[in-house]
Amino acid sequence: MSDIIYKLPDNVANQIAAGEVVQRPASVVKEMLENAIDAGASKVKVVIRDAGKTLIYIEDNGKGMSHQDALMCFERHATSKLKTADDLFHIATKGFRGEALSSIAAIAHVELKTQMESAESGTRVTVSGGRVELHETCATAVGTQFSVKNLFYNVPARRYFLKSDSVEWKHVLEEFTRVALVHPEVEMMLEHNGVVELHLLQQTFRQRVVKMMGNKFQEALVPIEEETNWLKISGFLSKPEVAKKVRGDQYFFVNNRFIKHPYLHHAIQAVYNGIIAEGNFPAYFIQLEIDPELIDINIHPTKTEIKFQDERSIYAILHASARRALGMHNVVPSLDFNQEGNVTTPVNSSTEIKMPTITLTGDYNPFQPAAPKRDVVQEWLRMQGDIHQSVRQMSQEQQGILDEDWGVEMELKPQQFFKKWIVFEYKGEMWLVDQGKAHRQIQFEKWMRQGYLPSPQTLLAPLELSLNEKEKSMINASADTLYALGYRWEIRDGQVFLMALPQEDWDHQDFWEQILGEWENGFERMLNPTQIWAWTKAKKEAIRAGQMLTLPEMKDLMRELLDLENPFFTPRHEKIIFKMNADQLQQLFQS
């Protein structure tokens, strides 16, 4: 029998590793920006062509690399930031694994030019498909210049799965924003297809937030500050008036690295309960400084997920700090029990003071029998009986339709839980349905069947939109789609003015924010303008969590849902229905 285990060639191993680190052009931008920041750059320029599919060029004025390091940086697991395994618990830099450059070089044409300040000349290295083709001395500026061309040229399957330019550009813009926000001391510029989208000068953290997020944040930022012997919290929360119906402006940074952490997000979101509308999300830009030994940032290839040694304590400190910050700035109403003083009523000295008088009812007889009291309980029971009687009096035809649709398999009537979920038994399984997503999917398929796109309606006076730099850039990248949706606009002195909009009776500032918010949060799966329009209209028309439904309404909703072409998932692949059979339920009760 012949041996079947063998070692993969380096080029194949690099391509496999690239799949973990380089998922799309934005991944390259992230890794290169982090390397530039780690190199001590005070100025970084990013040039993108075709959303990064054709070219990603990043230039910095950092410390550069030596002639030998310029070659070594493309080797797998080559890094200047780790020497022993123990160093993993003292990481204070961004890139440290030594996988990024070798992975990028394995699936693109890469050119590197670099020079150290003390060197007399620089170095030029070109790599294609993981193979070094050139390594020579050259004349170049101090710092580093990377050109990454034709991403995934030798992995066509990966290139095929890239999204449209507008979607890929959105991801590039988001990665740039995450690095730019937390490094306001670095001047940064972003250019796309010959247009300078962002030029950020060196500034404070507050100035950088306002520049990136828009002028509406100028008066809407609430500082948050807290420091213990092991944790420092700083940054800004937003006032309730700038909360949005979509996520997108929530940023956590741990030791200057952007992270995603739903548990800590809940600590902030919970503070806003009762002061922003249900379903809205506050903006926040929070930096956490913590001893590297108390965290593990090595649990995910993209390093956006992090593990804390004591996340419960961080949650408690963060939640309390946010509550105090909002309270100190009068965002949350509060009573001051330390206030002293007497309540006085001004009296005019010329006004005659009259003694109070008492009016008696002369014919009142205390021994006369009182009028019979209303039996509130009996009235309530009688009202409930009327309601049940009205349900029983449904037409025989309507009741027959319900029986035919649901049949004997529906042994339990639908029940609503927490005004959000509907549970019932169907075909021998327990079904749990998200009522908001279910109705949204029903409305979505209704509008898709109509294939409707709105006509533009010219405005008598232009409507100025309050948009941040990131949103303006997204408009440029998504111009064709927005045009198909009925929008016409002009940009004057950096401000966006709507000249025409869809013939729909709603708040277009709000709708525009929803459209842009959806782009930030997952329009990748809806590249067709009709799909985008249908989904956005469906979201606006659908019932929401917190709405009480009657039994007939629940049955109608479930019947319409089960008649859909796709009742189980939304266009964004959100689950609508969760099913569990008797065996699965039984396992929950077994130790």
Angle between helices 435-450 and 551-562 (to 10 degrees): 50
In-domain check, residue 191 = yes
pLDDT at site 335? 41
Q: Which tokens go with 585?
A: 């339920």
Residue predicted with more confidence, 124 or 589: 124
In-domain check, residue 346 = no
CB atoms within 10 A of CB 548: 8
pLDDT at site 398? 38
The CATH number of residue 432's host domain is: 3.30.1540.20
Distance CA 436, CA 10 (A): 50
Judgement on whether residues 185 and 283 belong to the same structural domain of the protein: no
- 3-class SS at 411? coil
Helix ranges (H only) for 310-375 are 311-328
Distance CA 178, CA 566 (A): 36
Judgement on whether residues 258 and 244 belong to the same structural domain of the protein: yes
pLDDT at site 497? 86
Judgement on whether residues 412 and 323 belong to the same structural domain of the protein: no
Residue 410 in this model has a pLDDT that exceeds 60: no
pLDDT at site 243? 86
In-domain check, residue 574 = yes
Judgement on whether residues 136 and 254 belong to the same structural domain of the protein: no
Q: Which tokens go with 463?
A: 């409507």
In-domain check, residue 294 = yes
- Compute the average pLDDT of residues 90-114: 75
What's the pLDDT tens digit per position in 484-504?
A: 878 888 888 777 888 888 876
Judgement on whether residues 155 and 21 belong to the same structural domain of the protein: yes
Lowest mean pLDDT among 161-175, 237-251, 292-306, 544-558: 292-306
The CATH number of residue 65's host domain is: 3.30.565.10
pLDDT at site 25? 94
What's the pLDDT tens digit per position in 20-52?
A: 568 899 999 999 999 899 889 999 999 999 999
Lowest mean pLDDT among 456-465, 469-478, 563-572: 469-478
**Residue finishing a domain among 313, 328, 343:** 328
Q: Which residues contact 115 (CB under 8 A, 6 or more apart)?
A: 64, 121, 122, 123, 140, 141, 142, 143
pLDDT at site 208? 94
Instruction: Count how many domains the chain has.
Output: 3
The CATH number of residue 241's host domain is: 3.30.230.10
449 close to 441: Cβ distance less than 8 angstroms: no
Distance CA 451, CA 456 (A): 16
112 close to 146: Cβ distance less than 8 angstroms: yes
Distance CA 516, CA 522 (A): 10
Distance CA 318, CA 456 (A): 47
Judgement on whether residues 44 and 81 belong to the same structural domain of the protein: yes
Judgement on whether residues 132 and 258 belong to the same structural domain of the protein: no
How would you class 297 by CB atoms within 10 Å of its CB: exposed for 0-12, middle for 13-18, buried for 19 or more? Answer: buried
CB atoms within 10 A of CB 154: 16
pLDDT grade for 467, boundaries at 50, 70 and 90: confident
Judgement on whether residues 565 and 588 belong to the same structural domain of the protein: yes
Beta strand pairing status for 421-426 and 429-434?
antiparallel
- Expressed as residue numbers, the domain containing 495 is 402-591
**Residue finishing a domain among 312, 328, 344:** 328
Residue 411 in this model has a pLDDT that exceeds 60: no
Residue 377 in this model has a pLDDT that exceeds 60: no
Q: Which tokens go with 537?
A: 């209209």
Lowest mean pLDDT among 161-165, 419-423, 451-455: 451-455
**Single-letter amino acid code for the residue at 164:** S
In-domain check, residue 369 = no
Distance CA 306, CA 298 (A): 7
Residue 150 in this model has a pLDDT that exceeds 60: yes
Distance CA 173, CA 190 (A): 9
pLDDT grade for 179, boundaries at 50, 70 and 90: very high
User: What's the helix, strand, coil split of the chain in %, to 5?
Assistant: 40, 25, 40
- Fill in the DSSP letter of residue 522: T
How would you class 553 by CB atoms within 10 Å of its CB: exposed for 0-12, middle for 13-18, buried for 19 or more? Answer: middle
How would you class 499 by CB atoms within 10 Å of its CB: exposed for 0-12, middle for 13-18, buried for 19 or more? Answer: middle
In-domain check, residue 341 = no
123 close to 137: Cβ distance less than 8 angstroms: yes
- Compute the average pLDDT of residues 520-541: 72
pLDDT mean across residues, the chain:
78
pLDDT grade for 19, boundaries at 50, 70 and 90: low
Distance CA 523, CA 519 (A): 5
Q: Which of 193, 33, 60, 191 is nearest to 117 (CA)?
A: 60
Tell me the CA distances in angstroms from 590 to 347, 491, 583, 586, 587, one per residue in order: 76, 63, 11, 7, 5
Residue 558 in this model has a pLDDT that exceeds 80: yes
Q: Which tokens go with 488?
A: 């016409």
Judgement on whether residues 222 and 187 belong to the same structural domain of the protein: no
In-domain check, residue 358 = no
pLDDT at site 391? 37
**Residue finishing a domain among 170, 200, 230:** 200
Provide the sign of the torsion angle of the four alpha carbons 97, 102, 103, 109, taken in this order: positive
Lowest mean pLDDT among 10-14, 124-128, 205-209, 470-474: 10-14
Q: Which of 257, 231, 256, 232 is nearest to 309 (CA)?
A: 231
99-103, 171-175, 179-183: range with highest mean pLDDT = 179-183
pLDDT at site 93? 58
In-domain check, residue 519 = yes
Rounded percentage of the chain residues whose pLDDT exceeds 90: 30
What's the pLDDT tens digit per position in 187-241?
A: 999 999 998 988 999 999 999 999 888 888 888 999 999 999 989 999 999 998 8
End-to-end CA distance of the chain: 46
pLDDT at site 77? 62
What's the pLDDT tens digit per position in 226-285?
A: 999 989 999 999 998 888 877 778 999 999 989 888 899 999 999 998 888 877 889 999
Beta strand pairing status for 55-60 and 43-49?
antiparallel
pLDDT at site 439? 93
Residue 517 in this model has a pLDDT that exceeds 80: no
pLDDT grade for 340, boundaries at 50, 70 and 90: very low
453 close to 485: Cβ distance less than 8 angstroms: yes
- 3-class SS at 4? coil
Phi then psi for residue 424, to 5 deg, are -160, 165
What's the pLDDT tens digit per position in 348-357?
A: 445 555 565 5
Lowest mean pLDDT among 101-110, 265-274, 460-469, 507-516: 507-516
- 3-class SS at 573? coil
Beta strand pairing status for 231-238 and 221-227?
antiparallel
- Compute the average pLDDT of residues 537-541: 83
Helix ranges (H only) for 407-547 are 435-450, 469-477, 479-484, 508-520, 529-541
Judgement on whether residues 182 and 209 belong to the same structural domain of the protein: no
Distance CA 366, CA 359 (A): 17
Residue 395 in this model has a pLDDT that exceeds 50: no
Q: Which residues contact 137 (CB under 8 A, 6 or more apart)?
A: 67, 121, 122, 123, 124
- Compute the average pLDDT of residues 460-465: 82
Distance CA 577, CA 561 (A): 10
pLDDT grade for 184, boundaries at 50, 70 and 90: very high
Residue 84 in this model has a pLDDT that exceeds 70: no
pLDDT at site 354? 58
Judgement on whether residues 267 and 195 belong to the same structural domain of the protein: no
Please provide the DSSP assignment of 93-148 as one string.
SS--SS-HHHHHHHTSEEEEEEE-TT-SSEEEEEEETTEEEEEEEE---SEEEEEE
Lowest mean pLDDT among 175-179, 410-414, 564-568: 410-414
Q: Which tokens go with 94?
A: 């961004």
Residue 547 in this model has a pLDDT that exceeds 60: yes
pLDDT at site 580? 87
Output the pTM of the full model: 0.69
Rounded percentage of the chain residues whose pLDDT exceeds 70: 73
pLDDT at site 435? 92
Judgement on whether residues 180 and 112 belong to the same structural domain of the protein: yes
